[in-house]
Amino acid sequence: MHRRLIKRLLAPAARLLVRASPAAEPWERFDLPIGHRRFGTGSIAAFRTYLEGPSRVRSASLAEVCDWLLTCQYESDESLFASVDYWQHPEQFERLKRGDCEDHALWAWRKLVEIGLPAQFVVGRYADSPVDSHGHAWVLCADRAQGALLIESVAKTADRIVRPLAEAAADYVPHFAVTHELRTVVFGGYLGDLQERARGESQSVSARGQRLGGHSTT
For residue 71, give the CATH number of its domain: 3.10.620
Considering its fold, how many domains does the chain have in total? 1
pLDDT of res. 136: 97
| Separation between Cα atoms, residue 160 and residue 147, nearest integer Å | 16
Is 150 in contact with 109 (CB distance < 8 Å)?
no
18 in any annotated domain: no
What number of CA atoms fall less than 13 Å from residue 128's CA on the CB side? 2
13 in any annotated domain: no
152 in any annotated domain: yes
pLDDT of res. 23: 72
pTM (two decimals): 0.86
| Separation between Cα atoms, residue 44 and residue 86, nearest integer Å | 9
pLDDT of res. 215: 52
Domain around 163: 26-216
149 in any annotated domain: yes
| Separation between Cα atoms, residue 99 and residue 77, nearest integer Å | 7
pLDDT of res. 156: 94
44 in any annotated domain: yes
| Separation between Cα atoms, residue 185 and residue 30, nearest integer Å | 6
Element (H, E) at 190: helix 188-216
Sorted by sequence, the CB contacts under 8 Å of residue 109 that are 6+ apart come out as 50, 119, 120, 121, 139, 178, 180
Mean pLDDT per 10-residue interval, the chain, length 218 residues: 61 55 86 95 97 96 97 97 97 98 98 97 96 92 93 96 98 98 96 83 49 50
pLDDT of res. 11: 62
Sorted by sequence, the CB contacts under 8 Å of residue 209 that are 6+ apart come out as none
Q: How far is CA 218 from CA 4, 39, 208, in A?
A: 48, 48, 16
Largest pairwise CA distance in the chain: 73
| Separation between Cα atoms, residue 133 and residue 64, nearest integer Å | 32
9 in any annotated domain: no
